Amino acid sequence: DGGITQSPKYLFRKEGQNVTLSCEQNLNHDAMYWYRQDPGQGLRLIYYSQIVNDFQKGDIAEGYSVSREKKESFPLTVTSAQKNPTAFYLCASSMGDRNMKTQYFGPGTRLLVL
């Protein structure tokens, strides 16, 4: 089955702790994205990567970090500097082609603060 997987489904963070959310895709997509979803708000872009070993900040990158060492994987770390991390985190990928702007999403990770 081709698709995007995210793990864990639920994640609990303690004060001062860094946590890492996993995102893997087997769609052979070049571009990958991380979004944050809060109630009543549209998806907000945290980071994106168009190619391996390269990534760019989105609109709300503060308190987050990413890496893109493999085409298939784009993990997101929520650092202790992110003061309001409780949200639903969505990973997406796209072909990255100029004519194919559609993004495909994973099932999401819900992050809660203890």
Site residues (CB under 8 A) for another protein? 4, 6, 35, 40-43, 45, 48, 50, 56, 88, 90, 92, 94, 98-99, 101-108, 110
- The count of C-alpha atoms lying within 13 angstroms of the C-alpha of 63, restricted to the half-sphere facing its C-beta, is 13
If the CB atoms of residues 16 and 40 are measured against another protein, the closer one turns out to be 40
Q: Shortest Cβ distance from residue 55 to another protein (Å)? A: 12
If the CB atoms of residues 10 and 83 are measured against another protein, the closer one turns out to be 10
CA dist 13 and 2 (Å) reads: 30
- One-letter amino acid of 5: T
CA dist 74 and 103 (Å) reads: 15
If the CB atoms of residues 78 and 92 are measured against another protein, the closer one turns out to be 92
If the CB atoms of residues 30 and 80 are measured against another protein, the closer one turns out to be 30
Q: Shortest Cβ distance from residue 105 to another protein (Å)? A: 4
Contact of 36 with 43, CB cutoff 8 Å: yes
Q: Shortest Cβ distance from residue 50 to another protein (Å)? A: 7
- Give how far Cα 106 sits from Cα of 3, 17, 80, 81, 86, Å: 8, 24, 24, 25, 18
